[in-house]
Structure 1
């Protein structure tokens, strides 16, 4: 159920297997118990490697080898930025424990000369800290199952007939301030369109400006399984994706855009670098309250054909087979 494991491990492994490669996905703890039985692979990709005695011995024997690759999808290996980590800021983990977690990741990473990263800013941080020989940026991608389900709902439901004008999808309880920062702009849009409704999904606190709009804002606190997400998103015209910008969030994936776009949703988003790389009729990149207000007040006027063409274009860019094969070519 962990998004990082799905995007960085299972999606990639399944794509490579579909193309004829022998691939195994295994937890670090199980790997450490079975190292002697796992010696016949051409590459060992360690997603978020964390140092331990057993893994340390294994990495030391293969230090700087092309056979081992460290993979990261978050900026979680620089102790100097411990105060920015969501675990410390939002989940109550002490600064000491957070710094210890980052230090263990950094300690493991120093054994690697090859890195696989989900975004360009993350690659920049790896170059700055570890000076590796080879760094490959390979974005998160959508597997055929998600794309197929998204296609069914996208072609089944007209964008104009969707039940909710706005949707906000919070996978974790760490985005209260992000939603609160643009809540007044959402309220303005709800006031301007008396028929507009909003769907909020996930364990998030509703900001104070929403008081008085309870009848038009549906809050479903339970996070839905990943492959059920298209069915929920298909009820929404425009997905809202605000995000605070700092050293940690700049390195994050743009999946909030491409997950929604695959279902034919329009998206208004803070342009972190991995969203900035997309140019699409389904996307508005906004900064500051005035831009948010204008973007939410102005409906997306796209025909069904324009939505369909734009959604397919995004899916082609983030198709898991395409992304995984490009990654394999560059990591080998």
Structure 2
């Protein structure tokens, strides 16, 4: 098999690493040819059996690469790891200000374009069963067979390959885990660090969702500390703990530095604001990254997350309180959970990678591809791309301004003063 993954931005973006770079790595290890490219390149040669369009909207790079794939007889697969192809997504994206009319129009347009790419694909690839079950589509080859007298085209759900860690991150995590274990043997104090590693300020509502049980745990267990990573806002109930030094802030770090930061944590927290349907599509990346360093996770019980050893899933404040108390009060149970998480990760890595080859084999074209086609970015596309990037930049700046204004004026997120 010869497979091309195309994504809209840089390879180091988390979504592109997990859904393109890691899959390429697994396919190459299995003896196939796989490569990944950015849709922003000036020219890309398409001479592959399968072309995977990851989060590419129609009417731009999505349609251009699909057309090139059709010319050579390749199969086209749409790929997504978020609910970006559902028009309802337009109301749920950007949890900072979900009712912002400008953001709504922008997200609705993006969702419509991604949905069109999905509808023009031969197959679909998702990161969770929730995403696969959320939509059906009609593969073009089914339409072609129907026109040829083969009956009505049948609707299909997409295939699922869950996220897994790449080789480089595993190696970095192994080193961090070894350092963590060595340091643990030398520790003389009983401090327990809870950690929330956020990627962006759009996770304010996620952390706020567990503010009350987390504050109660910090109040009850004097040995507990809280590490907050990223630009997420600290909810009102937690602010007094920051004032007395029990909450530590750390800036966002590149992914290669993440294992070393996770190694400073005893319990990894992965809350989600489950009032947003968008969040139910989230996969277990936070669990996997922590498990690689031997750290257990307490997470929100979303539809897409799987019950597993080394993790406690919670759906209510009382469940969060019980889970926090269980691991804060018993270091042996916490240590065993970390070891269980690492064992689960190893099995997950092996089982996920072993199933990748069969998924792509089912998408192989019936006839060998013929020739090649080159996708170039015309001046109009480049101009539209620059306009889109400028609009995105404006939206980010506007939302950051609104967010800072809100945080500067609010007294609390959950009522009752500043604590």
Report what 1:146 is aligned to: 169
Residue 309 of structure 1 and its aligned partner are, at CA, apart by 4.8
Q: 1: CA distance between counterparts of 2:96 and 2:248?
A: 29
Shift of 1:106: 1.2
For 2:343, which of 309, 312, 317 is the aligned residue?
312
Structure 2 counterparts to residues 1-332 of structure 1, below 5 A: 1-30=12-41, 33-34=42-43, 37-38=45-46, 40-52=47-59, 55-56=62-63, 59=66, 62=70, 67-86=75-94, 89=97, 93-127=102-136, 132-133=155-156, 135-158=158-181, 161=187, 164-214=192-242, 215-220=245-250, 222-245=251-274, 246-275=276-305, 277-280=306-309, 282-299=310-327, 301-302=332-333, 307-318=338-349, 321-322=353-354, 324-332=356-364
Per the alignment, do residues 146 and 55 of structure 1 end up closer, same or farther by CA in structure 2, a change over 3 Å counting? closer
Cα contact 1:168–1:201 (8 A) shared by 2: yes
With over 3 angstroms needed to count, the CA separation of the structure-2 counterparts of 1:101 and 1:241, relative to structure 1, is same
TM-score (norm 2): 0.70
Equivalent pair of 2:269/2:298 in contact (CA under 8 Å): yes
What SS does the aligned partner of 1:23 have? strand
Q: Which runs of 4+ in 1 moved over 6 A?
A: 128-131
- CA RMSD in angstroms, aligned pairs only: 2.8
Runs of 5+ consecutive residues of structure 2 not aligned to the other structure:
1-11, 140-153, 365-419
Q: How many residues align?
A: 324
Check whether the contact 1:269–1:285 (CA below 8 A) recurs between aligned residues.
yes
Please give the secondary structure, in 2, of the residue aligned with 1:80: helix
**Residue aligned with 2:222, SS:** coil
1:186-216 deviation per Cα after TM superposition (whole angstroms, max 9, x unaligned): 1211122212211110111111111221201
CA contact (8 A) 1:258 1:315 kept: no
Decide whether aligned partners of structure 1 residues 329 and 311 sit closer, same or farther in structure 2, where only a CA change above 3 A counts: farther
- Which one has a bigger Cα radius of gyration? 2
After superposition, give the CA deviation of every residue in 1:195-243 in whole Å (9 maximum; x if it has no partner). 22111101111111112212011011x2111121111101111011111
Residues 245-296 of structure 1 deviation map (CA, whole Å, 9 limit, x = unaligned) = 2321111111111111121111111122332x2420x211111111111111
Larger mean CA deviation between 158-167 and 80-89 belongs to: 158-167
| Structure 1 residue ranges without an equivalent (≥5) | none
- Structure 1 residues 55 and 330 mapped into 2: Cα distance closer, same or farther (>3 Å)? closer
Query: TM-score, normalised to structure 1's length?
Result: 0.87
Residues 69, 228 of structure 1: alpha-carbon distance in 2 compared, 3 angstrom cutoff? same
2:221 and 2:84 map into 1 onto residues whose CA distance is 42
